[in-house]
Structure 1
Amino acid sequence: MKALSKYILVVLSGLSFACGKTEPQTQIPAKGQAVPVTLLSLKSGDFSTEIQASGTFSTQDETLLSFKVGGIVSQILVNEGDPIKPGQILASLDLTEIQAGLAQARLGYEKALRDQQRAERLFIDSVATLEQVQNAKTALEIAEQQLKASQFNLTYSQIRAPKAGFVLRKFVNPGQQVSSGAAVLQVNGAASGNWVLQVTVNDQNWSQIREGDPATLLPANSSMEIPGKVIRKSQATDPLTGTYWVEISPEKTKGLELATGMFGKAIIRPSLQSSGWEIPFGALLDAQGDEGFVYVTPDRKSAKRVAVKIGKISKSSVQIVSGLEDYQELIVSGSAYLTDGSIIQIQKP
């Protein structure tokens, strides 16, 4: 029993000795005591970072098709997703009323033509006056234009495909009455390969992007990285989201199966470079939005708190756009113990 007690005492002594070897923790400097810091020389330069954004694919020629005149839909000859060819009939109205109007316009034209010819013969025989001949001629011209309008309405009582592509949406069905200009079908020209990826960016990224900037597209349904370029950007913010859109055109879409509304990502490389400073992430304090604070030393003896404007933020560094113009050295460690005017003790990194 005595041997067991001695063994326990030895183990406890060993544990106490091991605990005594723990690494000393950094002591918080007392008030008025110099704070140990490390410095970084500030050098301004130009930098450009990649902008990552996401959005959806679409074509530049999505079109809502409608009838020129109102009426009852007779036929819808396609369904959503169907491929279409240029000039293909996609839908038509019941032509009973339209053809009746055309026949009425043709009869009116024929009557006006007879009246005009009769007036000219009577004028030769000095029976009709010049005014009557002129009025008959005007009536003939009016009837001719009415006939052309009726023929035009008959032509556009059918919807034809403007180009090769696909049917995206079908808004009506046969037997439904539609008004003039009401959307019947939505189609695109996907067969011509005019795909774009429309992504959204914030105002800071928008100001750096220019038309023609290179980009890489990453469709959701493929592991391919497709080169492209920025072809257009919005000039007004979206009132609902507060963001701006940017359209990116891929250089090639061969081998890809794209659909309108498909999700995709883009990496944009702005050609416009910004000037400023790149500092370690840990040197930035109290960041809110695009503003924050850092500590600098103007005399290598004391710390000064300076407000800065923030650019891009990465995992290890921060881009500072303005605020450090008048300073040469930045405090990169020890900032947590500093206040404005604190005495510092410079240590080697």
Structure 2
Amino acid sequence: MKKIKYTGLLLCIPFIYACKPHPVTVSNKGGADTIAVQVRPLKQQANNATIAVSGQFTTDDEVMLSFKTGGIISNLNVKEGDAVKKGQLLATLNPTEINAQVQQANLATEKAQRDYERAQNLYKDSVATLEQLQNSKTNLQQAQQQLKAAAFNRQYSEIRAPKDGYILHKLANVGQQVTAGSAVLQANGAEAGKWMLRVGISDREWATMQLKDPAIIQTTAMPGQLLQGVVSRKSEGVDAETGTFSADITITGKKPQAIAAGMFGKATIIPSRSSNAGNTTWQIPYDALLDGDGNSGYVFVTDDNKTAHKVKVTVAGIEKNTVTVSSGLADAKALIISGSAYLTDNSVITVKSPQTASK
């Protein structure tokens, strides 16, 4: 009984294999097989199509303010959103420790000064040697430099506004102990700094836009109003947090009063590249790209629907189902989008319709 079952299973294998899809090949008169493929006409896309982006407003002079020394915060004289003037006192540390250090340095300087004067008198009386006089002078100079360092640290145990602007964020509170260099306040020079919209862009958009490309900016804070701007910066690497590139669009002209740091905005960038053959791209299906390596790969094209040619292309960007090609397809008429895996350079092909392929 088992032999009969196994024999029936073996007899079914050829039928199962015959039902599997295989590339359609037709033998031609020369003996070579003709491979059935599908093609798509190649259409160039001009790179100067507008680019829609969004992001947040900021300035080019945002700064984190901190103390030169560590200690306990005794005063914070501002709140988030406060306008400040250049030189205004914003925060101070408890001065007990730093004042003690300055006093110690001052006492050491006074002692070194007395020792040096005594060594001078003894040297004049031939009691002290020249070496002793020189050593006392060196001790005095060291003490004077330590006093300068202590006075400098005391000066920067308080935070003053570097320029006219606004307090964006308060990062510490009164009574909190902070280390040297820890950010306490974030401020900007809202009146002097250049306002910009910082936006995220895809790799394709990054490749298309250039510095100084014009842009039109909008924000819901000013409905119906348009701001003019230019692309002032393109990042040279991907942001680790967002996974995208970034760009800055600087507002040209005076900053509108309705804009604040962190506010959301949209922009339309108008790429300045002309639509000539050297500055065009092609959108091709992802499956048509073969042997992709970095920014290059290979595709099969045909000019006469009879012969396939393998050409190298430059990849400008990859999205979910498509690939943007920036060069390599200028002289091709049609792209082979199905059957490429069975082709070699100069393979003989026959073009099948999509209806035929679906059967």
Contact 2:61 2:193 (8 Å CA) reproduced = no
Q: Which residue of 2 aligns with 1:341?
A: 350
Q: Report the alpha carbon displacement of residue 204 of structure 1 after superposing the two structures with TM.
A: 1.4
- 2: distance between equivalents of 1:264 and 1:291? 37
Query: Quick one: distance in 2 between partners of 1:254 and 1:155?
Result: 34
How do 1:123-162 and structure 2 match up within 5 A?
123-162=123-162
Cα distance change of structure 1 residues 207 and 325 upon mapping to structure 2, 3 Å threshold: closer
Alignment correspondent of 1:72:
72
Letter in 2 for 1:181: G
Paired residues of 1:84 and 1:161 also in contact (CA < 8 A): yes
Q: What is the identity, as a one-letter code, of the residue corresponding to 1:271?
A: S
State the one-letter code of the partner of 2:152: F
Opposite residue 266 of structure 1, the aligned amino acid is A
1:230 aligns with 2:231: yes
Look up the equivalent residue of 1:54 and give its one-letter code. S
Larger deviation, residues 109-118 vs 184-193 = 184-193
On the 8 A contact 2:119/2:128 being kept in 1, the answer is: yes
Aligned residue identity for 2:261? T
**Bigger Cα displacement from structure 2, 118-127 vs 168-177:** 168-177
> How far, CA to CA, are the matches of 1:277 and 1:91 in structure 2?
54
Quote the residue 1:85 is aligned against. 85
1:17 corresponds in structure 2 to none
Quick check: 1:51–1:267 contact (8 Å CA) kept in 2? yes
Whole-angstrom distance in 1 between the partners of 2:352 and 2:89 = 83
Aligned CA-pair RMSD: 3.7
How much does 1:252 deviate? 2.3
Counterpart Cα distance in 2 of 1:79 and 1:154? 24
Contact 2:273-2:279 at 8 Å conserved across structures: no
Which blocks of at least 5 consecutive residues in structure 2 are unaligned? Answer: 1-39, 291-298, 318-323, 336-348, 354-359
Counterparts in 2 of 1:241 and 1:127: CA distance versus 1, 3 Å: same
Per the TM alignment, residue 209 of structure 1 is displaced from its structure 2 partner at its CA by 1.7
Match of 1:298 in 2: 304
Aligned residues: 287
Q: 1:241 Cα shift?
A: 3.1
**8 Å Cα contact 2:233-2:247 kept in structure 1:** yes
1:197 is aligned to 197
Q: TM-score, normalized by length of structure 1?
A: 0.71
Residue aligned with 1:167, SS: strand
Cα distance, 1:168–1:290 mapped onto 2, change above 3 Å: farther
| 1:93-112 alignment, distance < 5 Å | 93-112=93-112
- Going from structure 1 to structure 2, the CA distance change for 1:251 and 1:118 (only over 3 Å counts) comes to same
Aligned in 2, Cα 1:56/1:127: closer, same or farther, shift over 3 Å? same
Structure 1 distance, partners of 2:173, 2:43, is 68
- Distance between the aligned counterparts of 1:157 and 1:184, measured in 2? 12
Question: What amino acid does structure 1 have at the position aligned with 2:157?
Answer: S
Q: Deviations over 1:156-182 (max 9, x none)?
A: 111000011111111222122111111
Quote the Cα distance in structure 2 between the aligned partners of 1:181 and 1:343. 70
Partner of 1:118: 118
Partners of 1:277 and 1:87 lie apart in 2 by 51
* Contact 1:47–1:276 under 8 Å retained in 2: no
Cα distance per residue 1:94-131 (max 9 Å; x no partner): 11121121111111111111110110111011011111
Identify if the C-alpha distance between structure 1 residues 266 and 43 changes in structure 2 by more than 3 Å, giving closer, same or farther: closer
Question: Could you report, residue by residue, the CA deviation over 1:224-270 in whole angstroms, capped at 9, with x for unpaired residues?
Answer: 11111111111111234331101110112443411211111111112
TM-score (norm. length: structure 2): 0.69
Structure 1 Cα separation of the partners of residues 147 and 64 of structure 2: 28
Distance 1:100 1:177, change over 3 A: same
Instruction: Indicate the residue corresponding to 1:51 in structure 2.
Output: 51
Query: Aligned partners of 2:243 and 2:194: how far apart in 1?
Result: 28
The structure having more radius of gyration, on CA atoms, is 1
- Percent identity over paired residues: 44
User: Partner letter of residue 350 of structure 2?
Assistant: G
Distance 2:352 2:64 in 1: 70
Equivalent pair of 2:98/2:154 in contact (CA under 8 Å): yes
The SS at the match of 1:180 is coil
Quick check: 130-139 or 91-100, which moved more? 91-100
